[in-house]
Amino acid sequence: MGNRNPLIAGNWKMNKTGPESVATAKTIATLASNSPAEIEIMIAPTFTALALVAEVISSSRIFLSAQNLYWEEKGAYTGEISADMLLAAGCSHVIIGHSERRLYFGETDNTINKKIKTAINAKLIPVFCIGESEEDRESGKTFSVLDKQVKKGLEGFSSTALATLIIAYEPVWAIGTGKTASKDQAQEVHLYLRNLIDKLLGNTLANSIRILYGGSVKPDNIKELMAMPDIDGALVGGASLDPETFGKLFNYLK
């Protein structure tokens, strides 16, 4: 196993105004100040709150992530946001290909591939989301769906280019539904993904790449998920909106 520091990441989705985000981030920063140093913490507020939150967490060890970006540098793309804008707002990470983006906004493996390329070129750390639907799982297609998402999403990259990449496995059927993959189901998929990276991009990357689990992660299941050998962290939605709950997640060792 490579040196894979656990990462607990909170995706706030379309929640919290600027002032609400600032208040939440302040509390999280306080809770993070005495949490175990080897556990990395990341939060992803909405675009309008990024610069405000960046200021609040600047002296903390919390990483700031955006929830999306566009692959062009600038231009006539109304409503989109570029890598440079995210860097200027204080981001170090960006979530790419979240299942909600795929589902509601027509993102494809191909556009996600372009976004990953743009993030890497800008020195932003991509958090690349993949996952199967309930229908896929019930018809036994979990691995073929993930296979395609990973191969197409990472097409054309060398293992060195992907050195900072983080993968987030989110079974779509477990997002916000209260259903969670059992720790064994999650471990089985994470191990499959690690072996797939090994096949596609070699052993070094496979050992060092962090694969997060997302999908109804809560204080009462985080410990058992994190105990699995191939689960390197969590990408958390709902449970990251309340700072106390989120604090319990990144303090799961206490």
Distance CA 231, CA 114 (A): 26
**Is 93 assigned a catalytic role?**
no
Residues 90, 96, 99, 105: is their CA dihedral positive or negative?
positive
Distance CA 194, CA 156 (A): 18
Distance CA 214, CA 193 (A): 14
Q: Is the distance from CB of 1 to CB of 190 less than 8 angstroms? A: no
Q: Which residue out of 40, 107, 132, 170 is catalytically annotated?
A: 170
Q: Which residue out of 93, 98, 100, 107 is catalytically annotated?
A: 98
Classified as helix, coil or strand, 115 is helix
Pairing outcome for strands 233-236 and 7-11: parallel
Distance CA 171, CA 28 (A): 27
Distance CA 54, CA 25 (A): 9
**Is 170 assigned a catalytic role?**
yes
Active site residues: 98, 170
